[in-house]
Amino acid sequence: MTDLHVVRVFCGPGGGGGNPLGVVRDGGAVPGREARQALAGELGFSETVFVDDAGRGAVDIYTPTLRLPFAGHPLVGTAWLLRHLGEPVDVLRPPAGDVAVRYDGEITWVRGHAEWATGRTPREYASAAEVEALPAPPPGEGWLYAWAWADEAAGRVRARGFPRRAEERGAGRSGGAGARTGTIVEDEATGAAALQLTHELGRALDVRQGLGSQIITRPAAGGWIDLGGRVALREARQLG
């Protein structure tokens, strides 16, 4: 038996929204990529994290169908959870490289490079209303990050994220919010895509994604980008 914590990452200012994330605190209880991939698929969250060594910050990240070298919402959520459990960290170490962590009030920040966040295509739309009206998923193939300015002067963006993987079609909007189907039609909050968009636009952003999530970004020196948001615990349970 091992514990699974489920947190909501990138919650909005009022505590709503947030992308569910599964975190297996004792990653050693699920050894091997095959077993981890199977569990991530069974849980059905957009990502599941296995903490291999909290002291070193070693983590392993999976979607329902593949392993990721870097992802924003899993790292923000895991950093928050470790502090919540009394083990704050100043670095996490996914396969992509060392990710600096800092805590600033209710916001948990991680720092990454845009080249770590590949595979998502930002596409600008004419208005926030046009983004809101998109079907889930829009026609086409490949990961789509649909966005539009809600307030360009303030850096506020309206966005929605669609994996559009053939094997992951069939769930409703934000299917990762709890369905154990392994199907994610729309991602409630996508840190890596927000990081990519920040790099593309070269400015700080306040991204409002999905049904009520908020992602905050800040360009930093040396090509780094800070990615931050609020996190809340949804549940803790044991895996059989």
Domain ranges of the chain: 2-99+229-239, 116-227
Q: Locate tokens 């559009």: which residue?
A: 164
Question: 162: Cβ–Cβ under 8 A, 6 or more apart, which residues?
Answer: 134, 136, 137, 138, 143, 144, 145, 146, 185, 186, 187
Domain 116-227 in the same topology as domain 2-99+229-239:
yes
Locus of tokens 């502090």: 83
CA distance 38 to 5: 17
Lowest mean pLDDT segment, chosen from 30-39, 121-130, 158-167: 158-167
Pick one of 3.10.310.10, 3.10.20.600, 3.90.1150.10, 3.40.50.620 as the CATH number of 116-227: 3.10.310.10
Per-residue pLDDT band at 177 (split at 50, 70, 90):
very low
pLDDT tens per residue, range 19-34: 999 999 999 999 999 9
- Give me the pLDDT at residue 1, please: 75
Q: Is 93 exposed, middle or buried (0-12, 13-18, 19+ CB in 10 A)?
A: middle
**CATH class given for the domain over 2-99+229-239:** alpha beta
pTM of the model: 0.92
Q: What is the pLDDT of residue 169?
A: 35
Confidence band, pLDDT 50/70/90 cuts, at residue 175: very low
Return the structure tokens found at 41.
């698929």
In tens, the pLDDT along 31-86 reads 999 999 999 999 999 999 999 999 999 999 999 999 999 999 999 999 999 999 99
